[in-house]
Amino acid sequence: MSNIEYIGNELELFKYARNWKSYYSKAIEGFIKGDVCEVGAGLGGTTTALINANTNSWLAIEPDAELANQIETEIIGNPFAQKVTVLHGTLDDVQDDILFDNILYIDVIEHIEHDLQEFQNAIKKLKKGGHLIILVPAFNWLYNEFDKNIGHYRRYNKEMLNNLAIGTEVTKVKMDYYDSLGLFASVVNKLFLKKPVPSPENIRLWDKNLIPLSKIIDPVILRLFGKSLIGIWKK
């Protein structure tokens, strides 16, 4: 497996966005059980947030060798750490006969150039009845220098994400936008502030002040828009 180096400082910036991690975790935690595969595990933050007593095993795949080496350190102290196996590589490096109850891409598939091929490969690795769970940044018209600097090929709307599943053997279970106020903050930055990279203080203020309000507002506006998009499909 050749090493794929992670671009940018997104993982470090969002590492301590605890309210955001808690918010999206609540949206998907009911599906997390059995044998789980997390593609693009980064520093292990999602692993730590989502692994639970209903998990039999957790394969954390990370193509950047340096990040992969940090995951085991990150999960030290987690009561379910013994269930985690770290693989330096990609989904293609998983044995053909190993299948999963859940496959997760949390802020990952936008980093993959050939997203349709990746989506189809993930479906092949799902058990019957298993779930594919994807969280991505929303709305391509928001694409900016920050996206470019951290290796994003695109952002998504519902149509783009739905199109990945056309002609496949999965059925959509859920697709909703999250963090409506974060969307407005992103618009303000794109049109006026034009900051290529948010500062740690920007992330702290967003996580502390905007996420709790988005949690209240999002269901009221029926999750019609937001900074992020979550899609879940069942095989």
Q: What is the C-alpha to C-alpha distance for residues 214 and 216, in angstroms, rounded to an integer?
A: 5
Which residue segment(s) compose the domain that 190 sits in?
10-234
* pLDDT for 82: 96
Mean pLDDT value of segment 196-225: 96
The answer to whether residue 150 is domain-embedded is yes
The answer to whether residue 95 is domain-embedded is yes
Mean pLDDT value of segment 1-17: 74
Whole-structure pTM value: 0.95
The answer to whether residue 4 is domain-embedded is no
The answer to whether residue 28 is domain-embedded is yes
Q: Which residues pair with 58 in a beta bridge?
A: 36, 84
Q: Tens of pLDDT along 129-162?
A: 999 999 999 999 999 988 998 999 999 999 999 9
In the chain, the number of structural domains is 1
Q: Tens of pLDDT along 59-100?
A: 999 999 999 999 989 898 999 999 999 999 999 999 999 999
Q: Tens of pLDDT along 153-190?
A: 999 999 999 999 999 999 999 999 999 999 999 999 99
- Among candidate residues 165, 198, 196, 169, the one with its CA nearest the CA of residue 182: 198
The answer to whether residue 5 is domain-embedded is no
* CATH number where 54 lies: 3.40.50.150
* pLDDT for 17: 94
The answer to whether residue 2 is domain-embedded is no
The answer to whether residue 73 is domain-embedded is yes
